[in-house]
Amino acid sequence: MLTPDDGQVVGLPLALLAAQALVRLPPTARTLLEALVQLPLVLPPVATGFILLLLLGRQGPLGAAFAQLGVSFVFTWTGAALASGVMAFPLMVRPIRLSIEAIDLEVGEAAVTLGAGAIVRFFRLTIPLAAPGIIAGGVLGFAKALGEFGATITLAGAIPGESLTLPAAIWGATQAPGSEGRAAALCLISAVLALGAVFVSEAVARRASRWAKV
């Protein structure tokens, strides 16, 4: 059974880059990127999953290219991870963007006067100072991915041992007579995972905030 962290590993760094771009790009480009980032939030999850299926299916424009590399997203764990990551992406980007926007411009200007390049400023200033927002984005993304069902099952199905996610397992248990106990146990696991993520993120965010102020 898959958990959302399979998609978060790649999704969080991409969300950080997208948030940085949304802060730095000119208004027109920023509006276009913002619309693209927020698209999974406004579309029905099944529609998002169907679009991914069209793009990444074996006959799709991207799926055919990936197939030549031996990578398949349809009815596989990679597809489940990708679908949950796409649905969680907008919720990861927003808190990271707000944290980056809250960084005092004078900090970056001072770094420029000291000869720090863009890459150095990004890794030595932006990431540490935006750490609480990055952590918050990771937790929001994890929570969203944990409950994602529509896009995931559309692209990857719910194959035990291959692409079965926790929400799909809960749904399957609710459809089988006499499986109420299993459904309740899976719901409890979901709650424990979500609460654990919140507690860990709060602890890490407090530590990151103290470290950023040093």
Alpha helices, DSSP H only, in 77-179? 77-101, 105-113, 118-121, 127-129, 131-147, 150-156, 166-175
- Long-range pairs, 178-182, Cβ under 8 A, ≥24: none
Per cent of the chain over pLDDT 90 is 34
Do 154 and 46 form a contact (C-beta atoms < 8 A)? Answer: yes
pLDDT band at 162 (very low <50, low <70, confident <90, very high): confident
Q: What is the mean pLDDT of residues 76-82?
A: 90
pLDDT at 124: 86
Angle (CA) 127-130-134 rounded to 5° is: 90
Tell me how many domains the chain contains.
1
State the CATH number of the domain containing residue 80.
Answer: 1.10.3720.10
Confidence band, pLDDT 50/70/90 cuts, at residue 19: very high
**In which domain, by residue range, is 95 found?**
5-213
Structure token digits, residue 102: 């809250």
Q: What are phi and psi of 11, to 5 degrees?
A: -65, -40
The answer to whether residues 132 and 99 touch, using CB atoms and an 8 Å cutoff, is yes
Above 70 in pLDDT, residue 157?
Answer: yes
pLDDT recorded at residue 36: 93
- Cβ contact 167:117 at 8 Å: no
Q: Is the pTM of this model over 0.85?
A: no
